[in-house]
């Protein structure tokens, strides 16, 4: 049952690590904001997002997330990431690829239903736990409704949501060592590998192709975990291949 004042879900799962943690900060305590900002440590697998105020744009939220991840926003146009959907997919892909364990978002009470729905995709499609800092007395009915579909917990204690980080990034050992690569072609994806083969020596191509293959496999792994993957893939392939798709 949900407490109408705090929004606290008395039936929240008892798991040690719920997908979503909501930190209620009804007095908008500056110490809570400071703790969330100080917790930002991408090298250890935790990022803090301070959303751009006075906007309801999901694209701007995606840019805020990419900025928190340390990604160069000025490169988005060159990479043809020009829409809200593409920007959000890019942010989720980076989160998943770098295997961050916690995403902390300030000012969650100011986000509309669409932005909340986007944020709640993070624990569903990546390995990261989502921590929403809610600087208000209570959750709105729309926010409560969205939370009801995902394992979550509500707390008033910021320290419980942001435990100290120890050691290295939890997946540090899984990252490949840095590889020195030659200058690569700037071709689009369908032609990129062929252009590498044409312009690089055999040794350079072998090194670059190893990293390229690793990237493609990582991207495919992330894409096939998306809940809409089979629906979109089946529509693209046509009815004759639906059986083959589901058997894959």
Does residue 135 register a pLDDT over 90?
yes
Residue 35: predicted pLDDT: 95
* Helices (H), ranges, 151-228: 158-161, 189-199, 202-225
Distant-in-sequence, close-in-space partners of 1: CB < 8 Å, separation ≥ 6: 9, 10, 11
For residue 9, pLDDT over 60 is answered with: no
The CATH class that applies to domain 20-161 reads: alpha beta
- pLDDT, tens only, 105-125: 999 999 999 999 999 999 988
Token code pair at residue 207: 């090194």
Domain boundary assignment for the chain:
20-161, 179-247
**66 touches 91 (CB < 8 A):** yes
Q: Is the pLDDT of residue 126 over 80?
A: yes
Nearest to 219 by CA among 90, 47, 133: 90
pLDDT for 237 equals 53
Residue 67: per-residue pLDDT: 94
Residue pair 36/49 in contact (Cβ under 8 Å)? The answer is no
pLDDT at 242: 44
- Range with the largest mean pLDDT of 66-70, 178-182, 189-193: 66-70
Residue 204 near residue 242, CB atoms below 8 Å: no
Are 69 and 95 contacting, i.e. CB atoms less than 8 angstroms apart? yes
Could you tell me how far CA 150 lies from the centroid of its own chain? Answer: 16
Residue 140: pLDDT above 80? yes
Helices 202-225 and 229-237: crossing angle, nearest 10°? 110
pLDDT band at 159 (very low <50, low <70, confident <90, very high): very high
Structure letter (DSSP) for residue 1: -
Say if residue 11's pLDDT is above 50: no
């Amino acid at each position: 049952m949900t407490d109408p004042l705090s929004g606290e879900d008395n039936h929240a799962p008892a798991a040690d690590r719920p997908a979503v943690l909501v930190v209620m900060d009804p007095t908008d305590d500056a110490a809570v904001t400071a703790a969330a900002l100080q917790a930002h440590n991408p090298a250890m697998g935790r990022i803090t997002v301070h959303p751009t105020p006075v906007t309801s744009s999901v694209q701007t939220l995606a840019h805020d997330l990419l900025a928190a991840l340390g990604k160069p926003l000025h490169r988005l146009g060159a990479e043809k990431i020009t829409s809200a959907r593409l920007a959000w997919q890019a942010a989720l892909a980076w989160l998943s690829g770098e295997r961050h364990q916690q995403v902390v978002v300030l000012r969650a009470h100011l986000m509309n239903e669409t932005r909340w729905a986007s944020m709640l995709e993070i624990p569903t499609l990546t390995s990261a736990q989502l921590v929403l800092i809610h600087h208000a007395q209570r959750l709105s009915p729309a926010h409560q409704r969205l939370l009801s579909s995902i394992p979550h917990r509500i707390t008033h204690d910021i320290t419980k949501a942001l435990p100290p980080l120890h050691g290295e990034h939890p997946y540090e050992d899984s990252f490949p060592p840095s590889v020195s690569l030659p200058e690569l072609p700037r071709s689009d994806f369908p032609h990129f590998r062929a252009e590498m083969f044409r312009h690089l020596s055999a040794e350079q191509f072998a090194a670059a192709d190893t990293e390229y293959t690793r990237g493609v496999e990582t991207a495919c792994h992330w894409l096939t975990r998306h809940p809409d993957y089979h629906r979109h893939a089946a529509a693209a392939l046509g009815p004759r291949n639906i059986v083959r798709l589901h058997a894959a």
